[in-house]
Amino acid sequence: MSRNPIKTPIIATVTSGKGGVGKTFVTVNLAASLAARGRRVLVVDCDLGLANVDIMLGLHPRLTLKDVLFGSAAPEEVILPTKAGFDLLPACSGVREMAQLLFEKIQIVKKVIASLEGYDVMLLDTGAGIAETVLQFNLLAPRNIVVLNRELTSITDSYAMMKVMHQIFGRDAFSLIVNAVADDREGEKIFSHVDGICRRFLGFATDYLGPIYRDEAVPRSILRQEPLVLAGTGSRTAACFGHIAGVVSRWGGPCLRALPAAQTGPVARETLH
């Protein structure tokens, strides 16, 4: 398949209402699946203070986004190729300046992302929740992929995040992935529940990208620092990513959105109806 990039890239965040639901695992494996389809893919680690995409891939970046924001590095110097076939723009972990970025610095990161060219798909792996930085990146991308699982807190926090983004910023295009389910039926049940709440209380429907099956090979792949889809096991879970990658690769590529300054500011945590 051709590796020539399409004119306008598909740009989406991979986000979640709470941590610990497998968001970065989904990002890495979705990116690898898209790359296997011949797409040129860039993952941007937008969890700026607790970055871990590089850890999941066994990489040791010499430069990170910190060197772009607080040093003289160009974005092209920071981007790394990965063994999974996609490129990574890494951030860093445990650095206070990155964890507590001022608005002006967040805008610089957004401009950096908007300036990158030559990719078919750009996946922005955000932090979890509704912190200002997370909202900024979710509002920047035209599409938001929300990862959740069967835990009640994951369901309520995912809804709360979508509620904030809809009621304050008018966002109503969310694509859901239900992670770590036993089968299609469980995934459909969880999706239908969240989608029903959004329809009833927020007035919009969500899109279902599909389930990711619970699999004993998942923790092993994380320990090996290798995407599950590269393991060659022919697992049902790997097939889930192949299906989702097929859907995402057919999306159109609307332009990045710049968030006006008037829309920024602290947002109170919302709760489930």
State the pLDDT at residue 265: 42
| Residue 266 within any structural domain of the chain | no
Q: How distant is the alpha carbon of residue 189 from its chain centre?
A: 23
| Residue 59 within any structural domain of the chain | yes
Residue 212 has pLDDT above 70, yes or no: yes
| Residue 260 within any structural domain of the chain | no
Quote the domain boundaries for residue 78. Answer: 10-250
| Residue 270 within any structural domain of the chain | no
CATH number of the domain bearing residue 150: 3.40.50.300
Q: How distant is the alpha carbon of residue 67 from its chain centre?
A: 22
| Residue 2 within any structural domain of the chain | no
State the pLDDT at residue 254: 53
What's the pLDDT tens digit per position in 213-236?
Answer: 999 989 999 999 999 999 866 789
Beta-bridge mates of residue 123: 12, 43
State the pLDDT at residue 103: 84
Per the structure, the count of domains in the chain is 1
| Residue 272 within any structural domain of the chain | no
| Residue 128 within any structural domain of the chain | yes
Q: Please report which confidence band the pLDDT of residue 258 belongs to, taking 50, 70 and 90 as the band edges.
A: very low
pTM: 0.90
Q: What percent of the chain has pLDDT over 70?
A: 89
Taking alpha carbons only, the member of 113, 86, 90, 91 closest to residue 31 is 86
| Residue 235 within any structural domain of the chain | yes
